[in-house]
Structure 1
Amino acid sequence: MDYFKSFAQELFSTNFETPPSSIQFIDAALSCTSPHFAPSYTDPNQKRIIRRHLVSFLQDYLSFKPSIDAFMHDDGTSVNLLNANGELQLSSSTPSIPLTIWLHESYPFIAPIVLMSTNTTYPIYDNHPFVDSSSGAISTFYLVNWKYPGCNLSDLVHNLFKIFSHNHPFYYSPSTDDFFHPSLASRREAVDRLSCTLHYDMKELLSKTHEEVEELSSLKEHMVRRVIVAEFSVDESENEMMELKERVKILTDEADKLSSWLRDKDQDLSSEYKIEDEFEAIDENSKILLDSIAADKATEDLMYSLDKAVEQGVMPFGTYIKQVRLLAKEQYFGRATLEKMGISLEWLH
């Protein structure tokens, strides 16, 4: 490409008294037939439209200069494209914006590719609504809705001027705030401003949504843990219920056996029946032991009742002492009788 530029400059220096202008460079580029340096525009009508648009644009924006270079598409295809590069100055109080406008090989039916240089003193806003901070690619309502013949390069840059005046792509400290009344905006400018506002609102909404998603994810994990605990508790309850059912079955069987035994004994269950009659001593000593144990236990129970009566104040202390002495005396003689018979007092415990 540098060779082609030098060739075009040398050619026009030979044929003209003054150095070649931007118009002469465009004409030389579009008329070049070298397979290595010719731009990727083949249709004569397309070339005439490109020339007209570029000339008009360069007359409106003198800070831009034409050039021709190799452009690499996202799919890896390399093509020679005309481009205009320069700086867009919004005002004396704001930094200029370095732009390169590439004319697509299907221009003007496909919008030009507008890139902003990322190698500048000022960094680009990370979340700018129209500029990709990593690549410098610019995408606006005008470019997205590009349609020939209603769109051209001059109007495109004019639209960029309006957009960046409202929302500059660089981080910088403005000295004053430009006043702008909404009634002065055109329909396209209003759409761009609305897009900008919606962009920031969407970023804020996405940030809040992300926080809510994280909270819900945390809640989900907590609920999953609770479900696991609940399932474990249910399993334990089911196992316990099965054990209880088995226990009930065993007790039911035992009750059936006991009922069967009572029926076999054919006992009279009237009020005169005494449960003590079911226990029979095998000899005299056993009978004495059984009676002594019963009497000793009854004495213990009676003493306990007397203790409670004194504590609750329903029995005088003197009466309590008298009764306890009598009971203790009877209990002593009963235990002495057992010792004389050679029966251990462990039976009483």
Structure 2
Amino acid sequence: MDHAVVQKWLRSVLGPYTDRDRVFADIDRTLIAVSSLSPKTEVFTFNDGRTQLLLNLDGTIPVNFRGNTYNIPVAYWIPRDYPREPPMAFVAPTPDMAIRKGPNVDPSGEIGGEYLRRWRNKPEACNLLDLVHDCQQMFGREPPPPYQPQHGPSSTQSPLAPGPHPYQHAINSAAGANGHSNSPTPAIVPKPKGFNLLDEEDDSSVHPHTSSAGPAPGNPSVAPPPRPINPELLALHDRLYHKIDSRLTTLSSTLSASNARLDVLSADLDRGLPAIEDELSRLKAVRDVCATTGDRLQTSVTELTDQVRSLQSREDPDPDTMVLATSIVGNQLVDLVAEDNAIEDTLYHLGRALNAERIDLEKFLKQTRVLAREQFMKRALAMKIGEGMGWA
């Protein structure tokens, strides 16, 4: 596959990782240096039962042991907090093989070693490619124990029967020069799944002639006793059961509380339905009244608009012709009242002019006597007209 395509894919799946640039750089260097490894994403199950979708580099790493090259199937899981947390390294057996405990490999296939212990203490000085090189050097000194075949009902070959080494993928040309003929060995497909502790073989299965539980020589039809259940698996099942039970209890109590709240809310809603319907009917009545009032107001506005338009179309009246009485005597009375008010205003302004010294006292007295005499006569005439019309 094109390396640029692999790099683009790596960039697209590194979202959940804390230090995406560092993870990309280390995986890219490792893929360039060890081309037999390939990246993919798979679900990893931790020892406490948690699962996470992690990057996984699986394939084979070449190991030189006693002059021959062996391809060891491995899988490197990259944690989310890489490089603060070291990768989880495993030897990946094929489906028909089991792993035995060795100096640097536990029964589940997990790889240990001094480099991983140093990584946990000083992560800034370690990287993925150096871990792969350390595994190559470690397996070159002490290779992992050979796979043991898982015996099935159709298996007829003894586990000690000679045969090609199960790790061997390609023998170098020196073997051909020594005259050895090797049958082609299929490539070992990495197994990216968890490893079953029940697959571990003890010494009694490797050396059946020394086992006290084997079948009697004289009675080959007697089946061997059943294999006891792994106590670690039982303890894991017990912890898992208690964890699931506590989680289910918590969820049950939470759901019960939620159901109680929902029941109260449902009862409140049921009680509120009649009030809502009553309020809705009142609002409908108010709407009808408002519609009727609006229609009446619209009719009044239309009538007033027509009247205003009619008044605007008429000519403006003469104010003098509007203040008229119904008879000659009435008109004479109106004139007398108007003249009386005019004389009253004139006397007022004459007093102000005297106070402001705009006229002298002699002129003020003369004009006041004239205006007072005239005002007296007009008031007397107005009173006589009022008596004659019966207003007094």
Q: TM-score range by the shorter chain?
A: 0.3 to 0.5
TM-score by length of 2: 0.34
* Higher Cα Rg, which structure: 2
* Larger RCO (alpha carbons 8 Å, 6+ apart): 2
Q: Is the helix fraction higher in 1 or 2? A: 1
